Structure 1
Amino acid sequence: MGIAARISAPFVLLVAAVTTGVLSGCDASPGQVGSGSGGELRQVTVVGSGEVRGAPDTLNVRASVEAVAPDVTGAMNQTSERVQAVINALVDAGVDRDDISTTNVSLQPQFANDGNTITGYRASNAFEVKIRQVDAASPALALIISSGGNSTRINNVSYTIEDDSQLVRDARARAFDDARERAEQYAELSGLKLGKVVSISESSETQAPPTPMPRAEMAAAPVPLEPGQQTVQFSVTVVWELT
């Protein structure tokens, strides 16, 4: 009886000590200070955000030329001629040929109401143009419309910043500063000090203002375009030690 009593008491204490160590080792929830005692690691996880704006310097135009003819050759020839006229006009106006690329070519039969009789063929040649001079964007778009004629389709126009690396750097710095400010506040509230960084993860997003969609009926008249401002947003999640 005496021997059993001497063994069981230390055994219970050992189990309790191991259980306490496992529970206190859990990480803190995001945005909260980790808890612990006896020299255990404390951490705080925060999410910081940063945003900067910049002026777009490139207009991307997605357009196409369509034609319908009784035969395959006629439909394809019409689209080819019109697209070549557009390309020649853009190159003559100073657009680099490397900034003009074909994105899709299609040829589809057209059927009568019965769904079986072929009445003709519709051909389409789609292309994308990068216009790198913002002040030349409106005349270049009008040139595409006038050169392609009534067969022209403007599918999409969008402004971009060709090199946004500096904007990304600035947004990243603002996001990290925001995260550090939040972490320092948590450290102060918990009566601790901010230690070294444990981990960093990030995400970024560029938002462009909507660009109005011009219509082919505008012919060669100047197309009103406003580049506006693009916003680069950055989010960073940082884990700090607390001492």
Structure 2
Amino acid sequence: MHSPITDWPKNEQPREKLRLKGAAALSDAELLAIFLRIGVKGKSAVTLAKDLIHHFGSLPRLLASTPEEFTRVHGVGLSKWSQIQAAYELVKRSLEDGLSQDPIFSSPNHVREFLQAKIGRLPHEVFLCLYLDSSLHLIECDELFRGSITQTAIYPREILKEALSKNASALIVAHNHPSGNPLPSDADQELTKVLESVLQMVDIQLLDHCIVSGSGFFSFSDSGLMNISVKR
């Protein structure tokens, strides 16, 4: 429908549909249209939202867009990009806050959702540490290393130093693969073994090493590649 949204049947207008049926009932384009508010000549906000998603190829790519990339699309400007990024950041912070409120294993998908939102769609590789207390609540999530699109230099001694300074009882480490393939490399497997060994020396347990991509996720723990025994 290319007519103004105000001319649509009331129950088909995105805001009214959200109020009546809940956010889950809306398509990606309808949700995005609520942020856009208005379209351009000949296009409703929903049509413009569909064009944006089509331009970037997917909603995750749109969310990861730079201001320059976003504003190349006719009909949207920096203010719309800023609003969408602010909403996306609120989602990531909400997920992180949930990890500090409840033990990480109380919701099996919570860590995965947080990591995919946090680093899964970045164009460069980053390495995160999730420091956990004795009750497995999140103390802090830190980005320790940032590298090129192909590799990041990871220093186990830096991870150990930070873990001790935060009085962590356990860790989850994670990094992303911008290539899109979340399967571990030989170097990833070797790093996991080294970290396990180093942390065991000071009685800190490495619970998992997660590898994240825009559409994939790999867990060393879930794949049986780590020897952990945590009371869940």
TM (normalized to structure 2)? 0.26
User: Which protein is richer in helix relative to its size?
Assistant: 2
State which structure, 1 or 2, has the greater radius of gyration over its C-alpha atoms: 1
TM (normalized to structure 1)? 0.25
User: Which protein is richer in strand relative to its size?
Assistant: 1
Q: Tell which has more relative contact order, 1 or 2 (C-alpha 8 A, sep 6+).
A: 1
